[in-house]
Chains A and B, each alone.
Chain A
Amino acid sequence: MTKNDDIYDVMVIGAGFAGMAAALFASAQGLKVVQTGATGGIDFSTGFIDLMGVHPIAEGKRWKNPWSAIEAVVQDCPNHPYGLLSCDEIFESVALFTRFLAEQGLEYIGHTDRNTCSLTPAGTIKRTYRVPKTAWNGSVALGKKAPTLIVDFYGLKGFSGVQLVETQKHHWPELKTVRIQFPSGRGELYPEHMAWALADPAVQEKMIAAIMPHAVDVEYIGFPAVLGLNDPQKVVDHLAALSGKKIFEIPTMPPSIAGPRLRAVFDRGLPAQGVRTHSQKLVTSVKELDSGMFEFSVGTGAAMLPVVAKKAILATGRFFGKGLRAERKKLVEPVFDLPVVQPETREQWHEQDFFAPQGHPVNSAGIEVDERLRPIGQSGRPAYDNLYAAGAILAHHDWMRMKCGAGLAIATAYKAVKELTR
């Protein structure tokens, strides 16, 4: 009778990259989609879209061409989730995803068959597939080692221009830095608040005025990613016009502004496509109805509501996303209680060295799926005919070390939707 009692075609469980992508792709197919998920991976994203960067991880071998890397990883680890997709499908999924972002005003740039280098807030350099347009000039400046000024702010913790200059000084001698007072507000500063303040052209002007004396001999100016929340490109363009320099952003430590920007795009874009979103709510239980449909309980207490869907995509992520739960003796999947492929004992979960090149075995644990991305149940066959899994929850990959997080999430979500509509 009320909206909540409607039957949906698809329930997307999760609001990280995979969940957002699944909701996007499914609604684009004309399906009636409902989505749940608490603040997930997407809020903690650096904003980069990694596709594939390192393989084999034990050797720390970096790849300039992500497609060759994917080919190599599928060759060496046939179980890797990329093995379930063709390169065309992966390409198509990322293209659709970034096109949606662009339509919503968050443009991404990158090469077709080459990873792009980008500075991280630690001063390291990371290879990634797509960077936000506002960060692109940073990659260009880095490639050319162009005369560049990094601006940082009193009060913004964990972002040190000196650190970037020091770590890069042998490779990029013409990188320099200046720390200024933030033009609006002082004391302890947080990216989201700074971004709101910087949406104001007057604040931008004030800031540029403070920077210009230090920027006489540079071609580029890099900022921590605080240049506006909803329309960063407009801020970047205005700063460029004011300064006559090329402007770029460098991600900050989480929670950075990159995550909220992505989330805002989906908060705007998905409901417009007809997706019913129950944000900030977790699925607390699920039961299979006689009809084969799922009935989910979403949220807790007074705010709990039932959601009925014909099919579901499990995109709940790993431990931080609550897709996997580590008990003292074993790993479990809390929503459907699916079997989790995992090392035998907790002793084998982690290596003794945090930065162990081969990575921690627990990171390859996860949900096993069939070739149609349906989670395998206790019997060895798909647990349900109408349940699909996507994203980091899948077993046999280490997205953190392989640098395939966002790409894998988007591509498997694409595949799951494709299989689900078949």
Chain B
Amino acid sequence: MKSFQTRVLILGGGATGTGLARDLALRGVSCLLAERRDINAGASGGNHGLLHSGARYVASDMEAAVECREEGAILKAVAPQCIEDTGGLFVAVEGDDEQYVADFEGMCKKSLIPARQLDLGEARELEPLLSEKLISAYAVEDGAVDPFMLSLDNMAHAMTHGAQSIRNAKVVGFSMGDGRIQRALFLDETSGESFEVEADLIVNATGAWAGLIAALAGAEIHILYSSGSLLVTQDRLTKRVINRLRKASDSDILVPGGTVSVLGTTSVTIDSPDDCRPTVAETDQIIEDAQAMIPVLATTRYIRAYAGVRPLVLSGESGDARSVSRGFSLIDHARDNVDNFITITGGKLTTYRLMAEKTADMVCRKLGVKAPCLTRTESLPASTMGRWTEPGLAPKSWVRNRDEDDLILCECEMVSRNSIDSIIENMPGMRGNSMLKAIGMRSRVGKGPCQGGFCGLRITGHLYDQGHVSEAQGLMELKTFVGRRWRGFSPVLWGLPMVQADLQEALYCGALDMELDHNTDDFTCEDDE
């Protein structure tokens, strides 16, 4: 069995894990990040991509509101490439709680969160799609953040400072001894290979899976899994983030992200974080609820849905997910008699840096390292790894730097062969299995209207041509890729997406027979002359 050594082993490649890797690396602490699937495969990739101004939490959680305000300002300064400073609106429509509306401005003031009241005409001029039944509107300093670019840039920066990372690494157990974890045991689910990692300290940054991982070390964390679904529209509907001015509820927020808008979310308690997937019922619920705010949401074309699971750490035994704190939990498992094991979970994308900082502080304290946190001031450099996730970048770059033989492989988002080759080049440590999925995660491939229907086939062909995949592996990857897109695609199948899906199935199943098992002898066709 392969064995690796490192000082700090970080489990989980979401925003917190990658942010922590960078924080530690900048402090000179070597670390290895192990991710079960790929960067942001969990909740870090399954959220709105909203950089909270804090105004959403002014009523429920003033501490969180202040944290958001501060962290938002820091991120805008140090990682501008990941953020679109769109500004945001809080709007109420007829029928919304007028008391909440009346109290809003005062509550914002208390948390020092800038909020400017707009007259309704001005608000609708800024965002023409807002409902005519608007009764109140405030401008706040919300922004949109590209969580994929953020995590990829964090990881890339960490790696330039000596951090390492492994994908497809599922923790299957810990070997315990002397009140500490001796070794962590891993399984690469795509290749079936096992390996182990020895570390001085292990940080469990697995988000919703934190409880399950902690249990492997005999520690106990009670986590409520709250699945939230979101919808992606084909177009960018608004310039700004639009929040519903009411007590935090479902389908409250519409966030623009490059060329699309993201609408959500719901809150459904599920039994296991692995069960998280968007459903038809949630999709309908979101649309029916949100159209009061923006009527066009009832008729616009949706591209897909996705879901993320919020890890809500229960302090007491409370049932409702929204009333549980959105603040994060940092747990030193010394309390569970595991000395070198820390869990960080909960929190928000907006406060990921703070979470990483606090965790790194604890790590350093435990390791006896005296180095200050630099992430508050040090710029996060843009990486080549993260850049292709920006919507619109691939086409712009392709149009402006035309290489005559550079073909567009993903038509919807206009990702060219050169862009894809550049993505592959920039993931040396990640080559090997699930290439197509990795490319999808690191670019806009598969995220457009066709949802992998055409681009999947074209890129698979290219991967074969380049020798990145061989035998039937490419086809299997394609099936996995299309299957994965289907999770988000299937809940929005009515109207035009249904037409798209019909075409896609006609292609994959009707024409290519890809649903059938092709490894049987039946397919040698030797009886045919």
Contacts and interface: CB of A to CB of B under 8 A. Distances in A.
Which among B280, B465, B506 has the highest number of chain A CB atoms within 10 Å?
A: B506
Contact of A122 (B408, B465, B485, B514): B514
Interface stretch (A77-85, A156-164, A275-283): A156-164
B156 to A, nearest CB: 30
B102 interface: no
A319 B506 CA distance: 11
Contacts of B419: none
Contact of B464 (A162, A186, A253, A362): A162
B470 interface: yes
Interface string A105-134: 000000000001100111111100000000
Interface string B477-498: 0110011011101100111001
A140 B528 contact: yes
Nearest to B466: A162
Interface string A175-198: 000010000001110000000000
A143 interface: yes
Contact of B457 (A122, A363, A403): A122
B409 interface: yes
Nearest to A164: B464
Given A162-B465, A188-B407, A62 B522 contact: yes
Contacts of A350: 490, 493, 501
A257 to B, nearest CB: 14
A44 B135 CA distance: 50
A144 interface: yes
B528 A139 contact: yes
Interface residues of B, number: 65
B458 interface: yes
A346 B281 CA distance: 9
A346 B513 contact: no
B195 interface: no
A3 interface: no
Contact of B529 (A143, A188, A325, A355): A143
Given A186-B405, A188-B407, A125 B502 contact: no
B512 interface: yes
A244 interface: no
A62 B517 CA distance: 10
Interface in B394-427: 404-405, 407-409
Interface class of chain A by DSSP: loop
B475 interface: yes
Contacts of B516: 54, 60, 62, 124
Given A125-B518, A354-B482, A403-B513, A145 B526 contact: yes
Contacts of B502: 318-320
Size category of the A interface is 35 or more
B464 A320 contact: no
Contact of B408 (A62, A143, A188, A326): A188
A328 B494 contact: yes
B407 A120 contact: no
A158 B461 contact: yes
Contact of B280 (A125, A158, A347): A347
B161 interface: no
A160 B474 CA distance: 12
A253 B483 CA distance: 19
Interface stretch (A21-29, A166-174, A287-295, A301-309): A166-174
A46 interface: yes
B472 A167 contact: yes
B99 interface: no
20 contacts: A46-B511, A60-B516, A123-B475, A124-B514, A124-B523, A126-B513, A143-B528, A143-B529, A145-B526, A160-B464, A163-B460, A166-B474, A167-B518, A320-B499, A327-B495, A346-B284, A347-B279, A352-B277, A352-B487, A362-B493
Interface of A: 41, 44, 46, 48, 54, 60, 62, 64, 116-117, 120-126, 139-140, 142-145, 154-155, 157-160, 162-163, 166-167, 169-171, 179, 186-188, 251, 253-254, 318-320, 322, 325-328, 345-347, 349-350, 352-357, 360, 362-363, 399-401, 403, 405
